[in-house]
Chains A and B, each alone.
Chain A
C-alpha cells in the first residue's frame, strides 16, 4: 500500500439535543475546523466523502443535504451510509486511488428522532423487525450469550462502564462525564437483562471530520502526520440467529488483515492504545478478544488486571469511549480522531504517554455485524 496519512481532524462536543446547530451547521463547523487543523484551504481538498443515515436524518439521500456545508461545491463528492470508520476507509481508498486529499465528514442528530424506531429499522421487515427488536434488546441477547459462554457476570460489564465513564471526565468533548461505581451501574434502571441504563451509551448529537492525504500531499499540511499502517473491514451474517453472537468472528478476520498490513504479529506488544466502539459495556471485553489481545472469554480479565486502565499496558478508550458519547456513525470517526490526537501527543488530560501505535475501531449493523479496524502510527 502507498503511504497515506491523516493530516487534519475535528470533532464537536457531543451532547443531547444540540439545539443551537442544525445538521448542516455541525458539518460546516467540523469541515472548517479540520481544514484549520491541517492548515489547508478548501482549494487543497480534492474530494469529499460524507457519512450519514437517512433514518437518523429523517430524509432520503441525506448526504445530498450536507454537501454544501462540507465544502463540496463543484467537487467530487460521494457518500457512505454506515459508521464513520467505514466512510474513512472508503475515503482512504479514494486517496490511494489518486486523489491528493480527501475530506471525510460525518454527522448525527439522533436526539431529533427516536433511536428505538431507527434501530428497529436495521432488522429485516419480515422475520425480525415485527418482533420489535431494536439495538438494546438485540444487544442484550448478545451480552447474555457472551456471559453464558464464558461464565461472566454483570459486574464484569459494570466495571467497564465505571472505567470508561471515569476516562470520559478527562475528555472535554465527551457527552457524559460521570463518577459512577459498580453499584451505581448495577442499580441503574433495568432495560433488557442483563443490560441496565449505565451499561448503555447515551444518544448524542455531534459531527466529526478528518482529512486524509497521500504522501505527496502530506507536506502541504502543518500537522504531524498520522500514518495509516493498516485497515480492513469484514462482515458477518445479517440474521442474528445465523451468527454465533458470542464470538466476533468478523472482527477477528478484519483485525488479522489490518495487523498483516501493518506488519504486526503481537498486537498486545505492538499497540499502545485502543479506541473501540463500546456502544454497550459488554462490547469492550468482547471486541478485545476479537482483536486478538487475549483468548476468547478473557477480555474482562484484561480490565481486572489493570491492563486496559490509563496506567496499564494497553489503555482502552482513554476518551471515555462510546459509552460516554454516542453520536451514531460519528462515533467510529471519533475513535480515529481520538487515536490521531493521542499519536500527535495532543490528547491533553487523556494523553497516553509515549503513544506510537493505536488501534481505532468501528462497527456497523446489529450486534457488531461488521467491524472496521484501523492501525495508525506516528511513524510510517
Chain B
C-alpha cells in the first residue's frame, strides 16, 4: 500500500480552526493594564505573607497559597536578567527581526517581566539597565504592548 504513495503528493486538507476568544483580564489584570494605558505606570502586587512583589500582578501567591494584598507601583526601570536576540521571522512576532526578548526585573519587583527590546541589541548583556517606552497615548489600549518595548539606558 505504501509503494504507490511514493509516486504521489498526499491528499491534504487545510485546517480552518480560528476560534475567536475574549479573555477577561480579571480584576487584577485590568488594573495593571489600565495603569499602562492611562498613567504609564507599571503596577505590581505584594504577597501579604512572604512579601514577594509580583509583576504581572496576580490575585494569589502560589508559594503561600494566599491572597496577595497590596498594590505596589514599580519603577519603569529595571535590570535585564536574561535575553535572546531573535533572528527568525514568524507571523507571531509583533515586530520585525532582529529584536530581543528580555526578562526584566523592574526596580521594586522580585520577579521578572518578559518584554521586547528593539534597539541597541549589540549592547545587551546580563545586568544592563533598561527603561520602559510607552506607545503614544492615542495608541494605548490597555494591552501588554502599550509598553512599546524597553530601551537600554
Contact = CB atoms under 8 A, between A and B. Distances in A.
A194 B116 CA distance: 17
Nearest to B55: A241
Contacts of B153: none
Contacts of B62: 237, 242
A134 interface: yes
Contact of B92 (A19, A134, A245): A134
A380 interface: no
Contact of A242 (B21, B84, B90, B111): B111
Contacts of A125: 21, 23
B70 to A, nearest CB: 19
A189 B85 CA distance: 13
A126 B144 contact: yes
A141 B144 contact: no
A240 B84 CA distance: 14
B54 A242 contact: yes
A128 interface: yes
A192 interface: yes
B56 A192 contact: no
B21 to A, nearest CB: 7
A193 B144 contact: no
A58 B25 contact: no
A245 B81 CA distance: 10
Contact of B87 (A190, A237, A242): A190
B93 interface: yes
A127 B84 contact: no
Given A120-B92, A241-B103, A126 B23 contact: yes
Contacts of B21: 125
A140 interface: yes
A136 interface: yes
Interface string B123-146: 000100000000000000001110
Given A116-B92, A131-B94, A132-B94, A137 B84 contact: yes
Interface string A193-209: 11100000000000000
Given A132-B90, A237-B62, A141 B101 contact: yes
A148 B21 CA distance: 39
A126 B142 CA distance: 10
B54 to A, nearest CB: 7
Contacts of B64: none
B114 A131 contact: yes
Contacts of A239: 56, 111
Interface in A135-183: 136-138, 140-145, 148
A149 to B, nearest CB: 9
A196 B93 CA distance: 18
Contacts of A191: 86-88
Contacts of A90: none
Interface in A324-354: none
A67 B144 CA distance: 41
A148 B54 CA distance: 24
Interface string B77-110: 0000111111110101110000001110000000
B113 interface: yes
B85 A19 contact: no
B23 to A, nearest CB: 5
A144 B114 contact: no
Interface centre among A120, A127, A148, A194 (most CB of B within 10 A): A127
A130 B5 CA distance: 40
B112 A136 contact: no
A157 to B, nearest CB: 14
Given A134-B92, A241-B113, A141 B82 contact: yes
A239 B54 CA distance: 11
A133 interface: yes
Interface in B1-17: 1-2, 5, 10, 12, 15, 17
Nearest to B9: A19
Interface string B49-85: 0000011100000100000000000000000011111
Contacts of A112: 12
15 contacts: A125-B23, A127-B56, A127-B114, A127-B144, A128-B114, A130-B144, A142-B82, A143-B84, A144-B126, A145-B103, A191-B88, A237-B62, A239-B111, A242-B112, A245-B82
Given A58-B17, A140-B84, 15 more contacts: A116-B92, A117-B92, A128-B114, A128-B144, A130-B144, A131-B145, A132-B92, A140-B86, A140-B101, A141-B84, A148-B126, A189-B88, A192-B88, A192-B101, A241-B112
